[in-house]
Amino acid sequence: MSEKRIFSGIKPTGDLTLGSYIGAIKNWVELQNEYLCLYCIVDMHAITIRNDPETLRRRSLEQLAQYVASGLDPERNIIYIQSHVPQHAELSWILGCYSMLGELNRMTQYKDKVSKGEENLNAGIYTYPVLMAADILLYQSDLVPVGEDQKQHVELCRDIAIRFNHVYGETFKVPEPFVPKVGARIKSLTDPESKMSKSDDDPQGSIFIMDSPDQILKKVKRAVTDMENRVTFDTEKQPGISNLMTIYSSATGKDFDVITEEFEGKGYGAFKNAVAEAVIELLRPIREKSEEILADRAYLTEIYTSGAKRAAELAEPTLKLVVEKLGFVPRG
Ligand code: ATP
Ligand code: LTN
């Protein structure tokens, strides 16, 4: 196996959507053969919003089951829960002292939350990208597979690494974002201008990995389209249809022109049925396998316990190097 490393994570703030599957997890599965991969359940990122404690615990374990059910091999990859490896928090504090207010002020995700006047605008929301940089840099990661919305955070992570290396000499590997060509930003089915997301107020806009075939069919049938009556990829004029084409393309591997040809003269009804069918078949094995894995609590515990142990072993040399460079007195 190559020594090149991958880090990525998802926060357990809601049920995983088709967006996070296509934008992130699907690529994680493909990359696991080529890299040493760490796939994390970033529960410390999740507490930037208020959670019911029982729900957070349940979601973290469900997300773990869904990672494995999606095809991530827990032996080959390091799958674990962020809060189990305290080195993330340690490095995050340090990197906070090498992150500039001006940089953090420019982060779109943070700016959106401020401009929407969201409740509970806490300091964690502001320093969120610093913790994310710590996640990535702790493991000397080469590649970070994420959806489009996270690219800016990975770029900030690179800037922090470059700054630190400039002051102290080569310390961190400078990582690259890996954003898929198709499916980097799956849109809401009810509002094709905005991202499909697990915390959307309108659950009809998102397809969840655990949705039943019936729920998927209903949601796709109700998806917003247009009056053009042509299955063509045009995000300006036909954002809803283009989104469904992206989903269909990711699920079947077909190119856009092949899809256009397939539905020539057939109307949106037939297209929507085909999209729903493809998504149902894509998600069915993942949902069934997740349920199986979730029922085996001992197996889940084994995965996250051994994952955290292996992650901590990889994190330790980086942290040791960093504190040495900073001038902290070594531990006795
Ligand atoms: P939240 O609603 O809690 O902010 P989210 O649904 O936006 O969550 P994240 O946990 O932020 O999902 O994202 C997990 C990963 O999936 C990230 O790499 C993100 O870029 C990717 N991702 C999330 N939603 C989409 C989407 N609609 N299209 C493509 N990629 C996505
Ligand atoms: N911020 C990301 C989740 C996340 C992440 C990371 C992604 C936290 N740490 C490190 C890639 C690498 C999100 O909101 N989806």
- Render pLDDT for 45-87 as a digit per residue (tens, 0 to 9): 999 999 999 999 999 999 999 999 999 999 999 999 999 999 9
- Please identify which residue in the block is written with the tokens 């290396």: 165
130 lines ligand 1 (CB under 6 A): no
Tens digits of residue pLDDT in 150-168? 999 999 999 999 999 999 9
Q: What is the pLDDT of residue 24?
A: 95
Q: Which residues are catalytic?
A: 113, 195, 198
Q: Band of the pLDDT at 200, cuts 50, 70, 90?
A: confident
Span from the CA of 324 to the centroid of ligand 1 (angstroms):
36
Which bound ligand lies closest to the C-alpha atom of 157?
2
For 203-292, the fitting CATH number among 3.30.70.3170, 3.30.1490.20, 3.30.565.10, 1.10.240.10 is: 1.10.240.10
Assess whether pLDDT exceeds 60 at residue 2. no
Span from the CA of 42 to the centroid of ligand 2 (angstroms):
7
**Coil vs helix vs strand at 46:** helix
Which bound ligand lies closest to the C-alpha atom of 17?
1
Tens digits of residue pLDDT in 236-288? 999 999 999 999 999 999 999 999 999 999 999 999 999 999 999 999 999 99
Q: Band of the pLDDT at 1, cuts 50, 70, 90?
A: very low
Domain ranges of the chain: 5-179+297-326, 203-292
Span from the CA of 281 to the centroid of ligand 2 (angstroms):
28
Identity of residue 69: A
Span from the CA of 302 to the centroid of ligand 2 (angstroms):
24
Residue nearest to atom 5 of ligand 1 (CA): 197
Identify the CA nearest to 249 among candidates 268, 230, 271. 271
Do the domains at 5-179+297-326 and 203-292 have one common CATH topology?
Answer: no
Q: Band of the pLDDT at 201, cuts 50, 70, 90?
A: confident
Q: Band of the pLDDT at 331, cuts 50, 70, 90?
A: confident
195 lines ligand 1 (CB under 6 A): yes
Alpha helices in the chain (DSSP H): 18-20, 26-31, 43-46, 53-69, 87-96, 101-105, 108-115, 123-137, 151-168, 213-221, 239-252, 256-262, 267-294, 297-326
Rounded to 5 degrees, φ, ψ at 200 are: -65, 140
Q: Band of the pLDDT at 330, cuts 50, 70, 90?
A: confident
Residue nearest to atom 16 of ligand 1 (CA): 20
Tens digits of residue pLDDT in 85-106? 999 999 999 999 999 999 999 9
Helix axes 239-252 and 267-294, enclosed angle (nearest 10): 50
332 vs 232, more confident: 232
8 Å CB contact between 279 and 208: no
CATH 3.40.50.620 at 5-179+297-326, yes or no: yes
Helix axes 53-69 and 297-326, enclosed angle (nearest 10): 100
The pTM of the full predicted model, rounded to 2 decimals, is 0.96
- 330 burial via Cβ count (<10 Å: 0-12, 13-18, 19+): exposed
